[in-house]
Amino acid sequence: MNKLSIPIIQTDVLILGAGGAGLCAALHAADAGKKIKILLVTKAIIGKGGCSRMVQGGYNVVLNPADSFDKHFQDTLKGGQFINNQELAWELVTVAPQRIKEMETKYGCFFDRNPDGTIHQKPFAGQSFDRTVHKGDLTGIEIVSRLSEQVFRREIDYLDEHRALELLWDKAGTRIVGALLLDISRGEFLVAHARTTLVCTGGGPTMYKLFAPSLDKSADGIALCYRAGAEMVDMEMVQFHPTGLIVKGSNTSGTLLEEGLRGAGAQLFNALGERFMERYAPDVKERATRDVVSRSSFMEIIAGRGSSNGAVFIDASVMGPEFVEKNFPGMVERCRDYGFDLAHKRVEVSPTAHFFMGGAMIDTRCLTDLDGLYAAGEDAGSIHGANRLGGNGIADSTVFGGIAGDSMAHDAINRELAPFDEKQVEEVIKQVEAPLGREGIDLYSLREILQMNNWEKLGIIRDEKGLLESRQTIQDLKEKMDQVGITVEKAYNIPWNDWLNLRNLLDVSEIVGRSALERKESRGAHYRSDFPKKNNREYLKNFFIKQEKGEIRTYDRPVIMNRLKPEDIGFE
């Protein structure tokens, strides 16, 4: 205990998040051969929550001799519309085979096989080669389950049902030295005081009407990095997955039907029975990249050619019911749970908010521009550029999670554990306790306003007028957050945690909107109806946002094309 009257846990390596990135980081740090203490913190239960576990489709990796790093790299840059950080993209592509081998031979993952015993790889949209490794259509469960088992076998401390409220600075204001945590089960605060800190909570753009991530996701890590003053990159790039399941009147609307369906041959139809992707991408149709298919579906819906539920239809039955049931059992069962027959009939789907391509800017060691702070997975930006390819997400998390673990294990040795700023801790506790016991307005009406505002003005199609209106709405909601009242009980106080979630989502919505205003063109997931064309002459650059002393600064830098230029592969 201390004069703050809250517990302090000291550690060498603090990992915030227990998805693919966090688990790999913990394992790599533990296996680095260093005598270090590791603390893994998750808002959920280790092995049971988060986005990585929800991965259905698979993991992109070069394994076949007919494939190559160059092909995967080119596909990743094409998908990202050439604003990816090329060093990070190359790291993703070249380290992925090592990570797959490691997961199978060291951690116990087992992926689907060909008859000859080699790992099976299936087709995914936006790729020039069938390179997606999978475990049926439940790949994430396999990866997270096996990695979690390995964490439990090592000397890794962990805290379930704890959330990070703020990253902590040292007293000199020169480095990040851990985080203030909230024990959700008890409603009590504690400080995780660390030599090195990794933020990898998983993004989760749940600030939209329809979204794919689990309900506990609220862009926490991105908000933490932003408020701490880390450099954030390309926050305008929010990916919408084309096929979110529509279940009328249910919170489960938006949950995914995975990319492999379209990769294998499923077709999309509007309410008139037209296979509309023939109009938007006649060469590749449903196997176009996610941004193209999502935007095409959305345009069909707003043109009045959608269903009465504001959706289009996916038809997997064209591949044959037996094929669907054998190859996509998880999705068949999921649809059946809601009364739909994926193997035999068309099912209603809509674009659904899915993934942040933007996040904290990192180097190839996963270091941010703040001393002591690392980021990986969806909390880190610039790997995927303007659009992430399906199958590159879980690869990103495990590749860079492992790299972060290696980096932190190395950096923590002989690093001073600088005293944290106790005044900052006191101020944050005061802020987050403010709504408790207060008579005030309803929280959930504010959340609904934000979700509809972002869907209509900060979503798949944007323009300057809508973005400016959206900014004002977000500012108004931020002010109203100070009027929300929540019951005083702290233990398992769900409305309190939802208030903390909304606080983060408002901050992230604000910087998504600010960055979207700066990019006056259409590229990848960012589509401006007032600037509908891609403009390579002026906008082959990244947009950055940084909060310094309460002021928000936006700026840009040209993309560094040190490995591949658009003209090298005829990209226009």
**Given 262, 287, 384, 523, which residue is catalytic?**
262
Measured over the CA atoms of residue 240, residue 201, residue 215 and residue 332, the dihedral's sign is: positive
Nearest to 358 by CA among 447, 236, 273: 236
Active site residue 354: no
- Other CB atoms within a 10 A radius of the CB of residue 64 amount to 13
Residue 378 has what DSSP assignment? G
Instruction: Go through the chain and tell me how many residues it has.
Output: 572
Distance CA 162, CA 48 (A): 14
**Given 163, 195, 241, 447, which residue is catalytic?**
241
**DSSP secondary structure of 221-262:** HHHHHHHHT--EE-TT-EEEEEEEEP-TT-TTTT-B--THHH
Distance CA 259, CA 387 (A): 14
Secondary structure (H, E, C), 405-446: HHHHHHHHCCCCCCCECHHHHHHHHHHHHCCECCCCECHHHH
Distance CA 522, CA 530 (A): 9
Phi and psi at residue 112, to the nearest 5°: -60, 150
| Distance from the Cα of residue 502 to its chain's centroid | 17
Active site residue 241: yes
Q: Are 227 and 275 in contact (CB under 8 A)?
A: no
Q: Which residues contact 250 (CB under 8 A, 6 or more apart)?
A: 338
Q: Which residues are catalytic?
A: 241, 262
